[in-house]
């Protein structure tokens, strides 16, 4: 059969692989995104795991999804609604139904859309599409299970391996649909399974069977090609946010000439940082899994005292546990990077879901006046820069730095251009030996550098600089324990000023969009991609708007107030109840704030952002009150 299907050029497409936890959808998705990146597309991914390790097969709770968005450019996030859904069972269809675009393609495994499968997913009729009101989607049944089995029949592999290869059959179909050359997939599979020839063979066979099946049956009337525009030349790898965070720390340690130390305790969705750094013994990284989060941060403090670049990684509940020790680090004025991969709370909450609700805790969750620096990463790849910055500030300013990422960017991935490390600034630890003419006699442990107010770092093992530090208030000059009222006042002030002064060393805040807009959209951290795209769409819709996303939260960039005072309306959009908005309002006062707050455990919906923002832009009044957490669905 010759290929006479129509090939459509697309700018941007969102595809979701969805099935049971055991169906291998994460792998199909990862491979598809990687090979698209290799082809020069921009990519963004969003793995959406169930909370259970293995929920009962075929149930809604067990559905595991992996969303990939690929495009020619401007792929800042993994997309809202899907163009193509691969549904390995009825539950996968049901869970994703709400997020299907109107005319999307649904490729589903007809072998597993039998009566009992439909029942498990809670369908009442035998037409799930009708039941879900999916009348305009293009539903394409493929007997994926049986076709895979027959493709592998002659290999003599067992049933388990056959079933496990279904995901490659599905991947094959999707690769055909998007005109991805099969050989790249083959190469990637070889890298993945090269050491297990049988599995590799089965996977490749299933993949090609799927690919050919699409081709041979003209499964869809048209296939798609994603435009590739010229990209920055260079070498790329695929990273998710956790990996990029780990790499950022390694790179910073190298720049600073320090050994890297991580004290940690596993917790979803932060564990992969520990896993990666535990692997990196080739760099001499010391990554300790401790008995709990408190021991995690305490070993890091001990290692920082001993002169390492020390970090601790966790998620919300773990940061709560670390707060007492983190406060000690504030008092000790030692460098420490504290990574919080935010997940949906409060309490255990929804561990596999993402939100931005830990900002307040990072800023305020300690007894006493306890200032530290707070940085939030924008995207999977930006985690590298953010972790690098966090390390730099920690070391050069002798302070703990909280680095906030979240589940969405931590698990989501993008293609990352391998950086030229010469482009990154140096990191210069304020070693005490380099000051005081190398003469310890005039030095005291809490004397400070004038520009940064950082105290000098005297590391155990260094002759002459023996000293004692601790969590009790100390005298400004001698560093001895002091309960003097004026001294305490001075020290409280100095610790705050030290953090405030960091503003002298970080980039100014930049604003994107219309110079003369009345409305400024403000976000922070991991919602960057969604907000930027929404802003672009609003401009396309003919409205003027400006947009700025904060990475440096404490201290804020120096020009922050100046920027904020420029606009008549400020929309602060957050995946929480308005924490950053209140922080800005509390600091500057009299800001014309609108709070847009969504707390669903899911990333923002761009569509919703655009609609709601336009409404606010068009509205006449200013509404500082925080009413927007009211849920439309239930309120």
Partner 1 sequence: MKTNLTYRKHTPKDYKNGSAVRWCPGCGDHAILNCLHKALAELNIEPHDIAVISGIGCSSRLPYYMNTYGLHGVHGRAAAIATGTKVANPNLSVWVTTGDGDSLAIGGNHFIHAIRRNVDINIILFNNKIYGLTKGQYSPTSEKGFISKSSPYGTVEEPFNPAELCFGARGTFFGRAIDVDLNNLTDLLVASAKHKGTSVVEVLQNCVIFNNGIHAKITDKASRPEKTILLQHGKKMLFGVNNEKGIAIDANFQLKAVTIGQDGYTLDDVLVHDATTKDSTLHLKLAQMGYENDLPVALGVIRDVEAPTFENEYEKQIEEVQKKMPVKSFTDFLMSSKNMWELK
Ligand X SMILES: Cc1ncc(C[n+]2csc(CCOP(=O)(O)OP(=O)(O)O)c2C)c(N)n1
* Chain positions contacting ligand X, by CB under 6 A: 265-267, 293, 317-318, 321, 324, 348
Interaction between residue 600 and a second copy (CB under 8 A): yes
Q: Which is nearer to a second copy, 16 or 149 (CB)?
A: 16
Q: Which is nearer to partner 1, 83 or 276 (CB)?
A: 276
Q: For residue 326, what are its two tokens?
A: 């983190």
Q: How far apart are the first and last CA of the chain?
A: 57
Strands 512-513 and 546-550: antiparallel
Q: For residue 486, what are its two tokens?
A: 């004026």
Instruction: Choose which of 364, 464, 565, 615 interacts with partner 1 (CB under 8 A).
Output: 464
Q: Which partner from the list ligand X, ligand SF4, a second copy, none does 360 bind, CB cut-off 5 to 8 Å by kind? A: a second copy
Q: Which is nearer to partner 1, 141 or 460 (CB)?
A: 460
SS3 342: strand
- Rounded Cα distance between 435 and 189, Å, is 55
| Closest residue to ligand X: CB criterion | 267
Q: Which is nearer to ligand X, 49 or 580 (CB)?
A: 49
Interaction between residue 421 and partner 1 (CB under 8 A): yes
Q: Which is nearer to partner 1, 154 or 291 (CB)?
A: 291
| Residues 217-246 within binding reach of partner 1 (CB under 8 A) | 231-238
Instruction: Choose which of 112, 268, 327, 405 interacts with a second copy (CB under 8 A).
Output: 327
Please give the full DSSP string across 131-195, using - where no structure is assigned: HTT--SSEEEEE-HHHHHHHHHGGGT--HHHHHHTHHHHHHHHHHHHTT--HHHHHHHHHHHHTT
Instruction: Choose which of 276, 358, 382, 612 interacts with a second copy (CB under 8 A).
Output: 358
Instruction: Choose which of 196, 460, 611, 625 interacts with partner 1 (CB under 8 A).
Output: 460
User: 474: which residues sit within 8 A by CB, 6+ positions away?
Assistant: 446, 480, 481, 482, 491
- Rounded Cα distance between 502 and 461, Å, is 29
Candidates 154-162, 186-194, 325-333, 439-447: pick the segment binding a second copy (CB under 8 A). 325-333
Interaction between residue 251 and partner 1 (CB under 8 A): yes
| Residues 33-92 within binding reach of ligand SF4 (CB under 6 A) | 53-54
Q: Which residues of 558-579 are buried (b: 16+ CB within 10 A; e: fewer)?
A: eebeebbeebebbbbbbbbbbb
- Rounded Cα distance between 110 and 465, Å, is 73
Strands 593-597 and 569-574: parallel
Q: Could you identify the residue written with the tokens 């391996």? A: 161
Interaction between residue 347 and a second copy (CB under 8 A): yes
Q: Which partner from the list ligand X, partner 1, a second copy, none does 316 bind, CB cut-off 5 to 8 Å by kind? A: a second copy
- Rounded Cα distance between 467 and 444, Å, is 8
Candidates 437-445, 446-454, 471-479, 543-551: pick the segment binding a second copy (CB under 8 A). 471-479
SS3 272: helix
The answer to whether 35 and 180 are in contact (CB under 8 A) is: yes
Nearest to 264 by CA among 301, 297, 303: 297
Q: To 5 degrees, how large is the angle CA 560–CA 563–CA 567?
A: 140
Candidates 23-31, 527-535, 562-570, 580-588: pick the segment binding a second copy (CB under 8 A). 580-588
CB of 314 to ligand SF4, least distance (A): 21
Q: Which is nearer to a second copy, 492 or 503 (CB)?
A: 492
Q: Which is nearer to a second copy, 35 or 606 (CB)?
A: 606
Q: Which is nearer to ligand X, 71 or 296 (CB)?
A: 296
CB of 54 to ligand SF4, least distance (A): 6
Q: Could you identify the residue written with the tokens 């599979």? A: 189
Q: Which is nearer to a second copy, 168 or 502 (CB)?
A: 502
Interaction between residue 427 and partner 1 (CB under 8 A): no
Q: For residue 479, what are its two tokens?
A: 């560093």
Q: For residue 430, what are its two tokens?
A: 């304020």
Contacts with a second copy by CB under 8 A: the residue count is 80
């Amino acid at each position: 059969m010759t290929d006479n299907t129509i090939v459509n050029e697309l700018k941007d497409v969102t595809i979701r692989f969805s099935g049971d936890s055991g169906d291998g959808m994460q792998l199909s998705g990862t491979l598809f995104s990687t090979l698209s990146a290799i082809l020069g597309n921009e990519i963004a991914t969003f793995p959406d795991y169930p909370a259970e390790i293995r929920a009962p097969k075929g149930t809604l709770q067990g559905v595991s999804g992996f969303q990939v968005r690929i495009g020619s450019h401007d792929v800042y996030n993994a997309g809202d609604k899907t163009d193509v859904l691969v549904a390995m069972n009825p539950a996968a269809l049901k869970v994703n139904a709400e997020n299907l675009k109107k005319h999307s393609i649904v490729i589903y495994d007809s072998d597993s859309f039998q009566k009992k499968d439909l029942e498990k997913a809670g369908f009442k009729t035998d037409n799930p599409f009708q039941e879900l009101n999916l009348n305009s989607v293009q539903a394409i049944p493929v007997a994926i299970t049986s076709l895979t089995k027959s493709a592998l029949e002659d290999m003599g592999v067992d049933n388990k391996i056959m079933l496990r290869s279904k995901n490659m059959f599905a991947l094959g179909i999707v690769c055909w649909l998007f005109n991805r050359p099969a050989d790249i997939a083959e190469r990637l599979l070889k890298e993945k399974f090269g050491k297990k020839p049988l599995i590799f063979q089965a996977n490749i066979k299933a993949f090609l069977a799927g690919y050919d099946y699409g081709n041979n049956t003209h499964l869809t009337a048209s296939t798609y090609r994603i435009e590739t525009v010229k990209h920055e030349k260079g070498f790329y790898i695929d990273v998710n946010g956790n990996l990029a965070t780990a790499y950022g720390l390694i790179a910073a340690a190298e720049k600073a000439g320090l050994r890297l130390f991580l004290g940690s305790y596993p917790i979803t969705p932060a564990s992969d940082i520990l896993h990666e750094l535990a692997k990196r013994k080739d760099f001499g990284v010391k990554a300790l899994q401790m008995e709990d989060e408190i021991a995690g941060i305490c070993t890091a403090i001990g290692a920082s005292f001993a002169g390492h670049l020390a970090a601790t990684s966790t998620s919300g509940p773990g940061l709560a546990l670390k707060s007492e020790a983190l406060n000690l680090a504030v008092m000790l004025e030692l460098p420490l990077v504290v990574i919080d991969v935010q997940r949906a709370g409060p309490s255990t909450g929804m561990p596999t879901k993402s939100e931005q609700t830990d900002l307040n805790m990072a800023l305020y969750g300690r007894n006493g006046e306890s200032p530290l620096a707070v940085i939030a990463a924008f995207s999977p790849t930006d985690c590298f820069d953010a972790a690098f910055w966090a390390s730099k500030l920690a070391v050069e300013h002798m302070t703990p730095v909280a680095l906030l990422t979240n589940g969405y960017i931590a698990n989501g991935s993008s293609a990352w251009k391998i950086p030229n490390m010469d482009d990154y600034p140096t990191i210069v630890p304020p070693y005490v030996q380099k000051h005081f003419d190398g003469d310890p006699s005039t030095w005291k442990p809490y004397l400070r550098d004038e520009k940064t107010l950082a105290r000098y770092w005297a590391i155990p093992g260094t002759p002459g600089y023996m000293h004692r530090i601790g969590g009790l208030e100390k005298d400004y000059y001698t560093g001895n324990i002091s309960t003097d009222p004026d001294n305490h006042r001075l020290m409280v002030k100095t610790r705050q000023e030290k953090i405030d002064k960091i503003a002298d060393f970080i980039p100014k805040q930049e604003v994107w969009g219309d110079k003369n807009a009345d409305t400024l959209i403000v976000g922070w951290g991991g919602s960057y991609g969604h907000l930027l795209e929404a802003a672009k769409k609003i401009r396309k819709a003919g409205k003027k708007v400006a947009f700025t996303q904060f990475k440096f939260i404490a201290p804020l960039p120096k020009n922050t107030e100046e920027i904020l005072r420029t606009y008549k309306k400020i929309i602060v959009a957050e995946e929480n109840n308005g924490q950053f908005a209140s922080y800005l309002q509390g600091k500057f006062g009299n800001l014309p704030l609108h709070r847009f707050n969504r707390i669903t455990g899911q990333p923002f919906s761009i569509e919703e952002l655009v609609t709601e923002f336009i409404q606010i832009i068009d509205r006449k009044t200013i509404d500082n009150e925080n009413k927007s957490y009211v849920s439309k669905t239930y309120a």
